[in-house]
């Protein structure tokens, strides 16, 4: 059985699987690999590094991809959106902030507007802005989110959105997760952690190895690592990462960490050197379902096959 949904029809893709636009990890190579395999790749626009963004569009070549931005950061450098739209992406995803200032520009360009939300109220705002696709992200996922869990938030947003496709994100890394998301009413899934641990991912090899070896219990959510890198996000967002020696040293002592500016330099050096005893590996609870580092195409093939089997067995 083929998994055809409103999402696959709207995006013109074979499989309802989207790459999360992970900052510095979802580069042009990975986005192109996901799209070539029948999913949809989103380049991580992150905090708005124009040079990096241009290089990643170059790396993606003629492959049909999209791009994702952190909305509150994009507001500080809207030139990044102009740069991206010059490359004619199939879609632009805005998450973590108000999409309204950029929505009309994106839609006039011919790109689809994807809005990432972490609460029902945000979904209402996204619909009012004309979102073509809504990604509903639970707190069990990697990186920044709010407090809601994926399993209850997704159907609540689905009920609100009518014919607008909803994509589930957070804690999904295999065919069981895709099948479950479809049963909740979603039209597909967006995955970060699973694609982080792939051959094409721009993630550091040691970070990938830590994802493969970790269990879901080994993640924490908070602002500890945002404080360490002096990049604290606006409320109500907090980030999920893997525990490490740095978190053991400072967890519960965030106020003290704020008063130790020298730790920011230590953290910066650790990131540059790939020292993940100090630097954070941004990964979600789905690490417990990730046991290898295959190609992006293998990930998609395996997930779709497993989901088809699960859905088929219940359809009999």
How much of the chain exceeds pLDDT 90, in percent? 89
Cis peptide before 236 (omega within 30 of 0): yes
Q: According to the model, what pLDDT value does residue 66 have?
A: 98
CA distance 11 to 26: 19
By three-state DSSP, how is residue 15 classified? coil
Give the C-alpha distances (Å, rounded to integers) separating 159 from 110, 156, 176. 27, 5, 22
Arithmetic mean of pLDDT, 187-193: 98
Q: pLDDT (tens digit, 9 = 90+) per residue, 122-134?
A: 999 999 999 999 9
Cα separations in angstroms, 41 against 110, 130, 183, 250, 300? 17, 22, 23, 36, 12
CA angle 150–154–158, rounded 5-degree value: 175
pLDDT > 90? residue 316: no
pLDDT of residue 261: 85
Q: Which domains are assigned to the chain?
A: 6-202+292-315 (3.20.20.70), 205-285 (no CATH)
Residue 308's pLDDT band, with cuts at 50, 70 and 90, is very high
- Give residue 156's pLDDT band: very low, low, confident or very high (50, 70, 90): very high
Q: What is the pLDDT of residues 53-93, one digit of tens each?
A: 999 999 999 999 999 999 999 999 999 999 999 999 999 99
- The answer to whether 268 and 229 are in contact (CB under 8 A) is yes
Determine the pLDDT at residue 119: 97
Is the predicted pLDDT of residue 42 greater than 50, yes or no?
yes
In sequence order, what are the residues at sequence separation of 6 or more whose Cβ sits closer than 8 angstroms to the Cβ of residue 9?
none
Helix (H, G, I), strand (E, B) or coil at 266: helix
- Per-residue burial over 56-83, b if 16 or more Cβ lie within 10 Å, else e, is bbebbeebbbbbbbbbbbbeebeebbeb
Q: Are 174 and 2 in contact (CB under 8 A)?
A: no
Alpha helices in 91-188 (DSSP H): 100-108, 120-128, 150-161, 175-183
The pLDDT tens digits for 87-114 are: 999 999 999 999 999 999 999 999 999 9
- What integer pLDDT is reported at residue 258 of this predicted model? 87
pLDDT value of position 9: 97
Q: What pLDDT, on the 0 to 100 scale, is given for residue 158?
A: 98
Q: Give me the chain's average pLDDT, please.
A: 95
Burial (Cβ within 10 Å: 0-12, 13-18, ≥19) of residue 304: buried
3-state SS record for 285-313 = HHHHHCCCCCCHHHHHHHHHHHHHHHHHH
Q: Are 48 and 78 in contact (CB under 8 A)?
A: no
CA–CA distance, 270 with 287 (Å, rounded to integer): 22
How long is the chain? 316
Find the mean pLDDT for residues 40-58.
94
pLDDT at position 1 = 58
Q: How far is CA 192 from the centre of its chain?
A: 5
- For the chain, what is the total number of helices (H) and then of strands (E)? 16, 11
Enter the DSSP assignment of 93: E
| 257-281: pLDDT as tens digits | 988 988 989 999 999 999 999 999 9
pTM: 0.95
pLDDT at 314 over 70: no
What are 6-22's pLDDT values in tens digits?
999 999 999 999 999 99
CB atoms within 10 A of CB 237: 19
Comparing 49-63, 156-170, 194-208, 219-233, the range with the smallest average pLDDT is 219-233
Residue 2 reports pLDDT greater than 90: no
């Amino acid at each position: 059985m083929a998994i055809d949904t409103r999402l696959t029809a709207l995006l013109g893709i074979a499989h309802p699987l989207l790459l999360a636009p992970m900052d510095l990890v979802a580069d042009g190579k990975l986005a192109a690999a996901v799209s070539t395999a029948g999913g949809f790749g989103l380049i991580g626009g992150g905090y708005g590094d124009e040079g990096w963004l241009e290089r990643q569009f170059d790396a993606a070549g003629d492959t049909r991809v999209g791009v994702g931005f952190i909305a509150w950061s994009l507001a500080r450098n809207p030139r990044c959106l102009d740069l991206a739209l010059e490359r004619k992406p199939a879609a632009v995803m805005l998450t973590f902030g108000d999409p309204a200032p950029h929505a009309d520009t994106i839609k006039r360009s011919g790109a689809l507007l994807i809005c990432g939300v972490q609460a029902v109220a945000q979904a209402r705002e996204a619909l009012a802005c004309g979102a073509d696709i809504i990604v509903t992200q639970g707190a069990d996922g990697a990186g920044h989110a709010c407090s809601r869990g994926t399993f209850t938030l997704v159907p609540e947003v689905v009920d609100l959105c009518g014919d607008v496709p909803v994509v589930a994100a957070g804690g999904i890394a295999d065919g069981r997760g895709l099948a479950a998301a479809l049963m909740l009413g979603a039209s597909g899934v967006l995955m970060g952690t699973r694609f982080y641990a792939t051959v094409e991912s721009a993630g550091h090899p040691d970070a990938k190895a830590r994802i493969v070896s970790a269990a879901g219990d080994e993640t924490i959510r908070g602002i500890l690592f945002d404080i360490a890198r002096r990049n604290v996000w606006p409320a109500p967002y907090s980030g999920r990462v893997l525990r490490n020696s740095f978190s053991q040293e400072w967890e519960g002592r965030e106020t003290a960490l704020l008063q130790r500016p020298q730790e920011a330099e230590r953290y910066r050096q650790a990131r540059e050197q790939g020292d993940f005893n100090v630097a954070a590996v941004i990964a979600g609870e789905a690490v417990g379902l990730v046991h290898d580092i295959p190609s992006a195409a293998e990930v998609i093939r395996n997930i779709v096959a497993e989901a088809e089997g699960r859905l088929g067995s219940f359809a009999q």
